[in-house]
Chains A and B, each alone.
Chain A
């Protein structure tokens, strides 16, 4: 629903603002996740990355507990998850960011790289789902 979406978005923006003003960093999930696991050896201090990555499921768990559950519907087959995961992992590292780093943090400071990245991954996502829909229809 749009109202929950907007309020959830405000929380996400507040989280990113805390990271920026508190620690002077971008709350980019792909970068912090790569750093937390040691896949990236530059970026945020390891402890900061690990704490953020632990915080994500913790916050979702709290909301699920308070709200009596969070609805999720996953693909029936495991293959979209595996192929999608590989592409998301590889692509976000190659493109230096994802929906949070480019989409929220970069766009709000009008970074040219983030504006281009967000336009491209959105367009790519739209085309992909349109093609999947076409494939299912045929």
Chain B
């Protein structure tokens, strides 16, 4: 099968799972993060459910020489526990708690409530672009001084 079709199917199944699980709803996600309020455990069940097929997939992967529809495996290899990993994850958690949204549900919501989620999606891409281009801008500024 063509790689693009495999990717489209994976994305659609992912979006379907998010919508079916209730995690496309920012209020439900905030309900999970609200330990001291009316705690909603659903996200833990979603995470548990998602880890099962993936744990099996990693075992199968160990027996494959190559993926089924691509020439080679291209997977993260770093094991370094560094400052960007920690700081980035803390900032992400802050934004996740404030909005109740992370990248998957936000993009999935474009298919359900596009207008409501649009401000988040635009801001998210601006945030990604800031991460990419901010170091260059500050470096250029520093070099010209």
A residues engaging B (CB < 8 A)? 1-27, 29-30, 33-34, 37, 39-40, 44-45, 47-49, 51-64, 67, 70-75, 78, 80-96, 98-100, 102-109, 111-113, 116-118, 120-130, 132-133
Contacts and interface: CB of A to CB of B under 8 A. Distances in A.
Interface in B96-134: 96-104, 106-114, 116-117, 119-132
A116 B34 CA distance: 21
A81 B95 CA distance: 9
A102 B88 CA distance: 12
Contact of A89 (B19, B24, B33, B131): B131
A3 B41 CA distance: 11
B13 A11 contact: yes
Sorted nearest first, the 8 A-B pairs with minimum C-beta distance are A55-B11, A9-B49, A8-B21, A89-B127, A95-B88, A124-B93, A84-B99, A85-B123
Contact of B128 (A67, A93, A120): A93
Contacts of B22: 1, 4-5, 8, 71
Interface string B3-33: 1111111111111111111111111101001
B14 A16 contact: yes
Nearest to B82: A113
Contacts of A58: 8, 11-12, 15, 111
Contacts of B46: 5-6, 8-9, 12
11 contacts: A2-B41, A5-B21, A11-B14, A13-B17, A40-B132, A62-B12, A75-B99, A85-B121, A88-B92, A117-B85, A129-B35
A22 to B, nearest CB: 4
Contacts of B122: 85
Interface of B: 1, 3-28, 30, 33-37, 41-58, 60-61, 64, 66-70, 72-76, 78-81, 84-104, 106-114, 116-117, 119-132
